[in-house]
Amino acid sequence: MKIVIVSLYFYPKLGPRPHRTTELAKEFASRGHEVVVYALLGDYDYSEYSQKTGIRFESLGKPKLGLADSKIKSNIFHKAFTKFIGKKYLNFPQIELMGMVAKALKKEGRIDYLISIAFPHSIHWGIARYMKKAPGQINFWVADCGDPFMGNPFHKPPFYFERLERNWCKLCNYISIPVKEAKNAYYPEYHNKIKVIPQGFDFNVKTSNYKPNKIPTFAYSGAVYKDLRDPSAFLEFLFKQNYDFKFIVYTRTTSHFEAYFEKLKDRLEIRDYVNRDKLLLELSKMDFLINIENKSNVQAPSKLIDYALTQRPILNITSEFKESATFNQFIFGDYSNQLIIKNIEDFNIKNIVDKFLMLKYEKNKDYNISKNQII
Domains of the chain in start order, with CATH, are 2-200+348-373 (3.40.50.2000), 217-344 (3.40.50.2000)
For residues 215-241, one letter each, b for 16 or more C-beta atoms within 10 angstroms of the residue's C-beta and e for the rest, the string is: ebbbbbbbbbeeeebbbbbbbeebeee
| pLDDT tens column, 269-278 | 999 999 999 9
| pLDDT tens column, 317-372 | 999 999 999 999 999 999 999 999 988 999 999 999 999 999 998 766 543 434 44
Q: Which tops the pLDDT comparison, 99 or 91?
A: 99
- Tell me how far CA of residue 353 lies from CA of 151, 216, 339, 341, in angstroms: 27, 39, 27, 20
Contact 298, 153 (CB under 8 A): yes
Q: Is the pLDDT of residue 94 over 70?
A: yes
How buried is 353 (Cβ within 10 angstroms: 0-12 exposed, 13-18 middle, 19+ buried)? buried
The CA-based angle 37-192-348, given to 5 degrees, is: 45
pTM, two decimal places: 0.80
Average pLDDT value over all residues in the chain: 91
| Spatial CB neighbours of 42, under 8 Å, sequence gap ≥ 6 | 69
| Alpha-carbon gap, residue 23 to 177, rounded angstroms | 16
| Spatial CB neighbours of 168, under 8 Å, sequence gap ≥ 6 | 121, 124, 125, 127, 128, 143
> Could you tell me which residues are beta bridge partners of residue 174?
142
Q: Is the pLDDT of residue 71 over 60?
A: no
| Alpha-carbon gap, residue 228 to 259, rounded angstroms | 18
